[in-house]
A and B are shown apart, each in its own frame.
Chain A
Amino acid sequence: MTPEHWRLRRANDRLIGFKCRSCGWVSFPERRKTCKRCRAAPAQFEEIQLSPYGKVLSYVIQQRLPEEFESPLAVAVIELEEGARLYGHLVETSAEELHVGLEVEADYRVMYRDEGLNVYSYKFAPRRNVAHDPAD
């Protein structure tokens, strides 16, 4: 069976989102059949290059997780510069610095391991003015 991460490879590696043609909602990294916001079905999505920069709109900190995850793990709704909103894991973010409005940047990481193969995508880290330009 084809692993789903192969189909999502381009989106995951190059920070490409799928924007709903009727309402503008952006899905990342999944490519969906229906729009989560306007319920268009089947929705028409166009690919867009997402900005690596955004800010935290809300977050939760998960304290207890299975051992394959690092805990505590902060998961946030992040609004990217072009307005796309997505769920993202936060990395290298201390509890003290985490707040609504925190400026973050996309940070390429291992998401999980599938039969010994590392599968990558973007998580988010506090913006530290490091030169960064995915898929320029």
Chain B
Amino acid sequence: MIGIQGYGVYIPRQRIKLGEINGAWGRSGGRGELAVATRDEDVVTLGLKSAQQALAAANIPADKLGAVYVASVSSGYMESTVAGQIGYALGVAGDVSIADFGLSTRGVTSALRACADAIACGRIEYGLVVGSDRLIARPGSTYELSCAAGAAAILLGRESTGTLAELEESAAYSGSCLGRYRAEGQFRGTTDERFVMEHSYLDQLAGVVEQLSRRDEQTSWDHVVLHAPELKWARRALKLLKLKPESLVSSLGQIGYAGCASFLIDLALALEQARPDEIILAISYGPGGSEAFTWQVKCAPGLERPASAQSQLEPGENISYPTYLRYNGLYAQQPGGQT
């Protein structure tokens, strides 16, 4: 069996309150805050930190890794390698499979599957799957109230005494290609979010759970991780899938939405909250499809470990809106310039 041997989470300490963003645009209200990366951080530095923690927590040296897979929808590069950079900085060597997964937030589970398959067929012993994103929205847009930064890494390997959770079952569902999109150098394209939620998101989540039920008789899960760019999407999905609202594990309310990273951060949170033998259901979403995994918890890490996911959700250093714009490189370069 394949299991999660370790994990690491890195959430930047800086926070901007939604009220601060709203205030800058003459709007009132807004509860919650977003994790913001500083000027000298990017998806490589965020991802590397989560990866180093995952290896340190599992006490596995980097030269044991047979794969480093990184999922991100915000690297900003059209050609380059985030996974290669992270692998190199980690110190991997030799016969290592390195791959970047992106363009759809589904990529994070494509990476998990690829890694699990490589272990299952005996090609590699350990593989690291990293989700790292720093989403930047057009100032003043509604996306600005959810886009955040963070990273998480999951170390997979053959089941052993230190295994945190064992992979039980997985399923995929290919759906429509409706969803968020972005051309090179652009902020998000125009998207009817409500239409996407109803005709792509909910359809795919129902579809993948249906696929999963053909392989697994389980119909209730102790902890549920759902990819969702906003909490209201997750709540709609829970209702549709007839899942208990309290089973949802989500960092959205505390740190915002960080694309591929959010899925793995929430999986880490679920591990910390779980007790042995409980089952975690985790479902990804992105334009083009969804994937679902069920994990049986073996030895829960608990909240005592250093740099737990839970501890990093705590409020950090509050920054002002001008600082937020500077960190995200969003100051106009010319009068009236489009940022």
Determine the distance from Cα of A91 to Cα of B40 in the docked complex, in whole angstroms.
9
Say if the beta carbon of B89 comes within 8 Å of chain A.
Answer: yes
Segment with Cβ contacts to B, from A29-37, A74-82, A117-125: A117-125
Say if the beta carbon of A131 comes within 8 Å of chain B.
Answer: yes
Known contacts A92-B13, A132-B56; is-contact A108 B45 (Cβ 8 Å): yes
Determine the distance from Cα of A135 to Cα of B86 in the docked complex, in whole angstroms.
11
Chain B residues with CB under 8 Å of A2's CB are: none
Q: Would you give the shortest CB distance from A105 to chain B, in whole angstroms?
A: 11
A13 B45 Cβ-Cβ under 8 A: no
Say if the beta carbon of B57 comes within 8 Å of chain A.
Answer: yes
B89 A13 Cβ-Cβ under 8 A: yes
A136 B56 Cβ-Cβ under 8 A: yes
Say if the beta carbon of A14 comes within 8 Å of chain B.
Answer: yes
The residues in B between 53 and 84 inclusive whose CB is less than 8 angstroms from any CB of A are: 53, 55-57, 61-62, 80
Determine the distance from Cα of A74 to Cα of B91 in the docked complex, in whole angstroms.
29
A132 B89 Cβ-Cβ under 8 A: no
The residues in A between 101 and 117 inclusive whose CB is less than 8 angstroms from any CB of B are: 108-111, 117
Say if the beta carbon of B99 comes within 8 Å of chain A.
Answer: no
Say if the beta carbon of A70 comes within 8 Å of chain B.
Answer: yes
A109 B45 Cβ-Cβ under 8 A: yes
Question: What residue in chain B is nearest A69 (Cβ atoms)?
Answer: B39
Say if the beta carbon of B38 comes within 8 Å of chain A.
Answer: yes
Question: What residue in chain A is nearest B43 (Cβ atoms)?
Answer: A118
Q: Would you give the shortest CB distance from B23 to chain A, in whole angstroms?
A: 23
Question: What residue in chain B is nearest A123 (Cβ atoms)?
Answer: B40
Say if the beta carbon of B306 comes within 8 Å of chain A.
Answer: yes
- Subset of 27 A-B contacts with CB under 8 Å: A13-B85, A14-B89, A70-B38, A70-B39, A92-B38, A108-B45, A110-B39, A110-B41, A110-B42, A110-B45, A120-B44, A120-B45, A120-B89, A123-B40, A130-B53, A130-B306, A130-B307, A131-B52, A131-B53, A131-B306, A132-B53, A132-B56, A133-B52, A134-B91, A135-B90, A136-B90, A136-B91
